[in-house]
Chain A
Amino acid sequence: MSTIPTVDPATPAPTPTPAPAAAARPRRPRPTPGKVLAWVAMALIVLVTLFPFYWMLRTALSTNASLYEDPAAVLPPEFSTGGFARVFGAQSQEEALAEGGAATSLVFWRYIVNSLIVATLVTVGQLLFCAMAAYAFARLRWPGRDLVFGIFLAGLMVPTIFTLLPNFVLIKELGLIDNVLGIALPTMFMTPFAIFFLRQFFLNIPREIEEAALLDGVSRVGIFFKVVLPMAAAPMATLGILTYMTAWNDYFWPLMVSYTDDSRVLTVALGVFRAQSPQTGTDWAGLMAATLVAALPMVVLFALFAKRIVNSIGFNGLK
């Protein structure tokens, strides 16, 4: 309902005074030197982060020959989509050689599938097993729990390189060399970080919610799957994305255990472009195109979920 303002004729209407123009606009705070410095630092970091992506794109869209002639050109010295064509196997061997590409062909889709299988196995496995272990560390009472958790945390401090050889021997003994399962297995069950990350979240879930579920007739296992896990959807998603990205980008371990295209993942396969033959040098355009294509899914994933990842990690860190 709208009301019409009434004006008492006896009282003179106030004459509007023109407000100064500056007062009408919200005043911007003056930039302090500290803020300017912070912005410059941030701009530098953004530049340093984005420049390699730009350089990859610029190199991928050039011909190999032109790259040697003008290696420092900011724009592609001679525009060509040949690099991308070689990545997707759309060029014949002769055409590839003519453009300074590698003589070996790349089974791109096969590598993508292998990468997908490995990253999915690692992510699903880690989420499930780490969540169960983290819940046991957070909620169940059993002798030696805190000691075992301490040992797990100590595991966080062991550099991955130390575990490469023992893992290799184990996978070899299991007969899983040159097998996608062999690539996924060492990180498929758990990592100390994932357990630590989820345990912190589970510790913050009010115990009463689980007790309420117990009174509602849910079993202990049911509480984990029907109440605790759905409540942990956000940290699980964060962990899932981080794990997927790590598994996708892993290079050294897959390089050690896969020998053939049957198990070769994308990161390792990119090395094909670096191979030099008597006819050609390194296929920089092809290599950069392939790297870009390989990185693209992760860039998209990160762009979509970056906020959630930061929030979730921040949330856990603060609590």
Chain B
Amino acid sequence: MAGISFNDVTCRYEGATRASVDHLDLEIADGEFLVLVGPSGCGKSTTLRMLAGLEEVTEGSISIGDQDVTHTAPKDRDIAMVFQNYALYPHMSVRDNIGFSLKIAKYPAEKRNRRIEEAAKLLDLTEYLDRKPKALSGGQRQRVAMGRAIVRQPRAFLMDEPLSNLDAKLRVQTRTQISELTRQLGVTTVYVTHDQTEAMTMGDRVAVLKDGILQQVDTPGRLYDCPANEFVAGFIGSPSMNIFHCEIGAEGARLGGAVVPLPEGHRARLNGTEASVGIRPEDLAVVGEGEGMEVHVELVEELGADAYVYASLPKNSPVRLQMTSNERPAQVIMRIEGRSPIRRFDRLWLAPRGHCHFFDPETGENLAAEREAVTVG
């Protein structure tokens, strides 16, 4: 087992206009479970593949423990990887799949079999050892891929979206199993996913990447409560944070009739008279007419205990919403209690009740020095 460090690592593919991973600095502690998360094409898989030795590092260096592995062959890095499509050898039985690396390393048959059986027992695969991968279900194949990784007792596990081929229910189940297993084994794990729920539930720390640039690396709780910028704020949390662009007055940010006081430190970092205010769906509340922002309800999504209200701002609203990436007009999202009387086409007034985050409208950076939220109400 060992810690991992990326020192100013860049990966640029031939002919590409921008680097896939741009000057990445990241320290992963020994035994830590770190999740790399971000949208498609953000460089998370490339980062993992560089660590595995499957992609060339253009600049910078990578170390595992005390060893600089930047130019070390994959087989000499003492790591194990679980691939998205599991990459099982279809012509080999489960036993041979799990024990292949040990066979290549010329382990004596007895020791090899003992390790295979230990791994199979741990993963509940004992009865499938003589089957071929094609005779296994998706979940079982995923466990074989895990078995192949743990049997080697490597210094680090690398996992590239290992749950994305499973159905929703199995994914939740396997998520817990993987977390438990890696903690039990105490092996440093780097886990890539595009699913922020997976990232939040599994990682000791989560690194958020966008366009090859590391946005923030922190514990799941801090990522949620203290996002470094608008991107992290919008990416972490489901449904995502509402980001409003509004005027800054003498007393603070004006969200229609509601005012969010702007701390002096924030104001000092702000250029101009506008700011972005981030409010999570659970931090909005319905207020009396004229006491907040006016919205028109477009959809009420009942989830049982909770419900989400999706609403639009009227054309003459002094507040603007940040456009979402999927080109639909952005909507204000608010969490309310289930079985609420709010209906489609209702007119409501909303105001923040809880945490508000201030971002620079140009750079998107959090204006708070410690990224802490401003509490309202």
Where the two chains meet, the residues of A that have a C-beta atom closer than 8 Å to any C-beta of B are 206, 208-209, 211-218, 222, 227, 230-231, 233
Which residues on B sit within 8 Å (CB–CB) of A231?
Answer: 89-91
Given A216-B100, A216-B104, A217-B101: A211 in contact with B91 (beta carbons within 8 A): no
Name the distance in Å between B37's Cβ and chain A's nearest Cβ: 21
- Knowing that A216-B148, A217-B104 touch, tell me 4 more A-B residue pairs with CB under 8 angstroms: A213-B100, A215-B54, A215-B80, A216-B101
A211 pairs with B83, CB closer than 8 A:
yes
Given A211-B54, A215-B74, A217-B101: A206 in contact with B87 (beta carbons within 8 A): yes
Name the distance in Å between B72's Cβ and chain A's nearest Cβ: 12
A208 pairs with B84, CB closer than 8 A:
yes
B90 pairs with A215, CB closer than 8 A:
no
Q: List 16 A-B contacts (CB under 8 A).
A: A206-B85, A206-B87, A208-B85, A209-B87, A209-B89, A211-B52, A211-B74, A211-B83, A214-B74, A215-B53, A215-B74, A216-B75, A216-B148, A218-B104, A230-B91, A231-B89
The complex places the Cα of A222 from the Cα of B73 at a distance, in Å, of 15
Which residues on A sit within 8 Å (CB–CB) of B35?
Answer: none
Given A208-B83, A208-B84: A214 in contact with B54 (beta carbons within 8 A): yes
The complex places the Cα of A230 from the Cα of B92 at a distance, in Å, of 9
B75 pairs with A233, CB closer than 8 A:
no
Given A208-B84, A212-B81: A217 in contact with B89 (beta carbons within 8 A): no
Which residues on A sit within 8 Å (CB–CB) of B87?
Answer: 206, 208-209, 211-212
Which residues on B sit within 8 Å (CB–CB) of A209?
Answer: 87-90
The complex places the Cα of A230 from the Cα of B93 at a distance, in Å, of 13
Which residues on B sit within 8 Å (CB–CB) of A230?
Answer: 91
Name the distance in Å between A201's Cβ and chain B's nearest Cβ: 13
Q: Judge whether B284 is part of the interface by a CB distance below 8 angstroms.
A: no
The complex places the Cα of A217 from the Cα of B52 at a distance, in Å, of 12
The complex places the Cα of A230 from the Cα of B96 at a distance, in Å, of 13
The complex places the Cα of A206 from the Cα of B80 at a distance, in Å, of 18
Closest 4 CB pairs of A and B: A208-B87, A216-B101, A212-B87, A217-B75
Name the distance in Å between A205's Cβ and chain B's nearest Cβ: 9
Q: Judge whether B150 is part of the interface by a CB distance below 8 angstroms.
A: no
Name the distance in Å between B47's Cβ and chain A's nearest Cβ: 15
Closest to B103 in A: A216
Name the distance in Å between A231's Cβ and chain B's nearest Cβ: 5
Name the distance in Å between A138's Cβ and chain B's nearest Cβ: 17
Q: Judge whether B105 is part of the interface by a CB distance below 8 angstroms.
A: yes
Q: Judge whether B226 is part of the interface by a CB distance below 8 angstroms.
A: no
| Cβ contact of B75, chosen from A206, A208, A214, A227, cutoff 8 A | A214
Q: Judge whether B209 is part of the interface by a CB distance below 8 angstroms.
A: no
Closest to A229 in B: B91
Name the distance in Å between B107's Cβ and chain A's nearest Cβ: 11
Q: Judge whether B79 is part of the interface by a CB distance below 8 angstroms.
A: yes
Closest to B75 in A: A217
B53-100 residues at the A interface, CB under 8 angstroms: 53-54, 74-75, 79-81, 83-85, 87-91, 100
Which residues on B sit within 8 Å (CB–CB) of A215?
Answer: 52-54, 74-75, 79-81, 101
Closest to B92 in A: A230
The complex places the Cα of A16 from the Cα of B228 at a distance, in Å, of 75
- Most chain B CB atoms below 10 A, which of A211, A215, A231: A215
Name the distance in Å between B96's Cβ and chain A's nearest Cβ: 11
The complex places the Cα of A211 from the Cα of B75 at a distance, in Å, of 10
The complex places the Cα of A297 from the Cα of B85 at a distance, in Å, of 43
Which residues on B sit within 8 Å (CB–CB) of A233?
Answer: 91
The complex places the Cα of A216 from the Cα of B151 at a distance, in Å, of 11
Which residues on A sit within 8 Å (CB–CB) of B89?
Answer: 209, 212-213, 227, 231
Closest to A212 in B: B87
Closest to A222 in B: B104
| Cβ contact of A217, chosen from B88, B105, B148, cutoff 8 A | B105
Closest to A218 in B: B104
The complex places the Cα of A208 from the Cα of B88 at a distance, in Å, of 9
Closest to B152 in A: A216
B301-321 residues at the A interface, CB under 8 angstroms: none
Closest to A209 in B: B87
Which residues on B sit within 8 Å (CB–CB) of A211?
Answer: 52, 54, 74, 81, 83, 87
The complex places the Cα of A213 from the Cα of B83 at a distance, in Å, of 12
Which residues on B sit within 8 Å (CB–CB) of A222?
Answer: 104
Which residues on B sit within 8 Å (CB–CB) of A206?
Answer: 85, 87
Closest to B83 in A: A208
B38-56 residues at the A interface, CB under 8 angstroms: 52-54
- Most chain A CB atoms below 10 A, which of B79, B80, B81: B81
The complex places the Cα of A215 from the Cα of B53 at a distance, in Å, of 9
Name the distance in Å between A188's Cβ and chain B's nearest Cβ: 27
Closest to B105 in A: A217
Closest to A207 in B: B87
B144-160 residues at the A interface, CB under 8 angstroms: 148
Closest to B91 in A: A230
The complex places the Cα of A221 from the Cα of B307 at a distance, in Å, of 58
CB-CB contacts of B110-141 with A at 8 A, as 1s and 0s? 00000000000000000000000000000000
Name the distance in Å between A308's Cβ and chain B's nearest Cβ: 16
Name the distance in Å between A76's Cβ and chain B's nearest Cβ: 50
The complex places the Cα of A230 from the Cα of B101 at a distance, in Å, of 17
Which residues on B sit within 8 Å (CB–CB) of A216?
Answer: 75, 100-101, 104, 148
